[in-house]
Amino acid sequence: MRNTVSRADIIRGRFSGIPDSIRPPYAIAEEDFRARCEPCGDCRKACETGVIGQDGEGFPILLFGQAECSFCGRCAEVCTTGAFRKSHARPWVATAHVKSNCLSFNAITCRSCEENCEAGAIRFRLMTQGRALPLIDAAACTGCGNCAVICPNQSIEMKNRETEEVFA
């Protein structure tokens, strides 16, 4: 979490800072990552899905909602600085969460996220009046972000499963 709060944050009502974005899988601990990573862009170029973007300082981050992470490991393979290491992978902290604007809450049948979740982490429980309650099994969720990409209403966001902060 960023400790500083900008004037724009205050205008938007964010008084505790903005949560940091998540690093690609296989990134080492944040302090060490920032010390080792030379924002060269090799990991972004190697990413097969294009989910790796960059933050304001040029460091790699995941762009959830634009692409999914396939966990292919190419980012770690091309990194020459040791900022990514397949053998020292951190536990993955991203998990999907459904926002209140989900079409299913409004009796509009949409199961895009469920149909495209390879892990089977998303299910729907039928409710009254044609509505369905989307349920996400956090233990089964890989945090790949495919559901956020496929959602036609942008109703899924990726959160840190430990802190509940939304990954931007």
pLDDT, tens digit, 9 for 90 and up, residues 19-44: 457 889 899 888 899 899 999 999 99
65 three-state secondary structure? coil
Q: Is 104 a domain residue?
A: yes
Phi, psi of 166 (to 5 degrees): -80, 135
Structural domain for 124, as ranges: 94-160
Q: Is 10 a domain residue?
A: no
Q: Is 4 a domain residue?
A: no
Confidence of residue 2 (pLDDT cuts 50, 70, 90): very low
Alpha helices in 89-145 (DSSP H): 112-116
Work out the number of other CB atoms within 10 angstroms of the CB of residue 106.
13
Mean pLDDT for 122-142 is: 91
Q: Is 165 a domain residue?
A: no
d(CA 113, CA 120): 10
DSSP bridge pairs for 27 = 84
Q: Are residues 25 and 84 in the same domain?
A: yes
d(CA 89, CA 157): 23
What tens digit of pLDDT does each residue of 32-86 get? Answer: 998 999 999 999 999 999 999 999 889 999 998 889 999 999 999 999 999 998 8
User: Which residues of the chain form beta strands (DSSP E)?
Assistant: 52-54, 60-62, 94-98, 122-126, 132-136, 156-160
Q: Is 2 a domain residue?
A: no
Q: How confident is the model at residue 16, as a pLDDT?
A: 44
11 three-state secondary structure? helix
Q: Are residues 77 and 111 in the same domain?
A: no
Number of domains in the chain: 2
d(CA 84, CA 33): 8
Burial of 87 (0-12, 13-18, 19+ CB in 10 A): exposed
Does position 122 have pLDDT exceeding 90, yes or no? yes
Q: Is 6 a domain residue?
A: no
Question: Given 88, 104, 132, which residue is the final one in a domain?
Answer: 88
DSSP 20-46: PPPPPTTB--HHHHHHH----SHHHHH
Q: Are residues 103 and 80 in the same domain?
A: no
Q: What is the CATH number of the domain that holds 50?
A: 3.30.70
Which residue, 146, 148, 163, 165, is CA-closest to 14? 165
Which residue, 67, 94, 92, 55, is CA-closest to 148? 67
